[in-house]
Amino acid sequence: MRFEDPAADFVPAVARVFGTEPRVLDGSRAVLVGGVKLQLEAGERELWLIETHGALERRLGMIAVREDIEDAVREARERLHG
């Protein structure tokens, strides 16, 4: 039996793609990069982009996590910077 946990590589993938160490939130299921929180939800099948302003949050969009978590993180970076 083999178990895969996309969240296990989430924080290192964010660091590689964004080129900076993210602030880890919520037990490695969410990270803060600048003013945007990247959060895994729905059994690590959804990566949400959430703009933060203090205690206020606004969801900017969702990216489906398919095979590789790093692909989803790259897509998130493109949406944020493109």
pLDDT 10s per residue in the chain (82 long)? 655 555 678 999 999 999 999 999 877 789 999 889 999 998 788 999 999 888 889 999 999 998 889 999 999 999 998 7
Total-model pTM: 0.85
CA 80 to chain centre: 12
pLDDT of residue 23: 92
Q: Which three-class secondary structure state does DSSP give residue 48?
A: strand
CB proximity list for 15: less than 8 A, separation 6 or greater: 21, 22
Instruction: Give the pairing type, strands 56-64 and 46-53.
Output: antiparallel
pLDDT of residue 1: 65
Instruction: Record the tokens describing residue 53, joined without a space.
Output: 């302003």
pLDDT of residue 44: 81
Q: Count H helices and E strands in the chain, helices first.
A: 2, 5
pLDDT of residue 5: 59
